Structure 1
Amino acid sequence: MAKEEPSADGKKSLLLRIDSALHDALRAWADAELRSVNGQIEYILREAVRKHLGKE
C-alpha cells in the first residue's frame, strides 16, 4: 500500500461510501450551517473525537 502524504494544508483524503439518504441529510444539515458536506462531516467527527477524549 502506498504511503499517503498530507496535502499542503496538512489534511489527508478519505474515501467514504454512505447511503444516499444519509448524504441528503448531511447536505441539508451542512446547508443550514453554511458548510460544505465535507466540512460538516469534518466538524461532526472533530466534535465526536473531542467528546470521546473528554475535552467537553
Structure 2
Amino acid sequence: MSKKKRFLLRLDQALYDTLERWAADELRSVNAQIEFLLKESTRKAGRQKEPSSDQESASD
C-alpha cells in the first residue's frame, strides 16, 4: 500500500458542509471525496498521468 502524505487543511464551514453532503451522496468519506476531486481535477488539467492498471489495483 502506498504511503500517503498527511497535512492540515483549513476549509470554510460552508464548503466543508457541501463536501460532506456530496461525499455522503457518493458513499465516500469527506477525505476520500476531496482526494477524488483533486485527482480528477489534476488529471483533467493534464497535470497528472493516468494511473496504470498496476497502480490502480494497488490502491484498491
Give 5+ residue unaligned stretches, structure 2.
50-60
More helix by share: 2
Give 5+ residue unaligned stretches, structure 1.
1-7
RMSD (CA atoms): 1.7
TM-score by length of 1: 0.77
Following the alignment from structure 2 to structure 1, what is the Cα–Cα distance between the partners of residues 44 and 3?
23
Match of 1:51 in 2: 44
Aligned residues with identical type, % of pairs: 54
How far 1:9 sits from its partner (Å)?
3.6
Q: Which has the higher contact order (CA 8 A, sep 6+)?
A: 2
